Chain A
Amino acid sequence: QKEVEQNSGPLSVPEGAIASLNCTYSDRGSQSFFWYRQYSGKSPELIMSIYSNGDKEDGRFTAQLNKASQYVSLLIRDSQPSDSATYLCAGSTGFQKLVFGTGTRLLVSP
């Protein structure tokens, strides 16, 4: 069964620190990966996508992909209390389908 694994957390970081969220996947055929942020009681919101090995930066967010090791990570620089949420990692599994991890809960303390 194709799986995406995430540590459920919570990951606690102080305000201003770098938060590092990790995800591993089992399907070597997965081509694309997505990070979603989900606030409590709300729906997931896409924050990053990555398709190639290496880093992709967007503002305070950096996604990293290592296909050889089958892991994806999300770095959040200068973490803010408003970043406190659950972060879902998703990988493609077949045409136009995604498989989601269970999410990592991030807590940023002031």
Chain B
Amino acid sequence: DGGITQSPKYLFRKEGQNVTLSCEQNLNHDAMYWYRQDPGQGLRLIYYSQIVNDFQKGDIAEGYSVSREKKESFPLTVTSAQKNPTAFYLCASSTGQGWNQPQHFGDGTRLSIL
């Protein structure tokens, strides 16, 4: 089945540690996105990529890094510089063609501080 797979479902970070969240899609989508959702809040864009080997900062990129070496994969690293990383992280993808394409989401990763 086509879809977006995020792993792990739950992740715990120790002080000063970098952690990497995985996002893989087999939808052949060009565009991929990372969002952060805090309780009772909407989705805030961290990074997005419209094509392999290219990505752009979103609204809250500080303390995060990404790579896009393969079309299917868009991992997110939460660095130690991100002082408040506890949140629900959502990866999404879209075809990247035209202005009216929706984004589809993976199941998310919950990150907490130990």
Contacts and interface: CB of A to CB of B under 8 A. Distances in A.
Contacts of B103: 34, 46, 90, 98
B50 A88 contact: no
Mostly, the B contact residues are loop
B48 A43 contact: no
Given A43-B90, A43-B107, A88 B43 contact: yes
Contact of A44 (B40, B41, B43, B101): B43
Contacts, number: 50
A8 B101 CA distance: 26
Contacts of B86: none
Interface of A: 4, 8, 31-32, 34, 42-46, 49, 51, 88, 90, 92, 95-98, 100-103
21 contacts: A31-B99, A32-B99, A34-B103, A42-B107, A42-B108, A43-B90, A43-B106, A43-B108, A46-B104, A49-B100, A49-B102, A88-B42, A92-B99, A96-B48, A96-B94, A96-B96, A96-B99, A98-B103, A100-B35, A100-B42, A103-B42
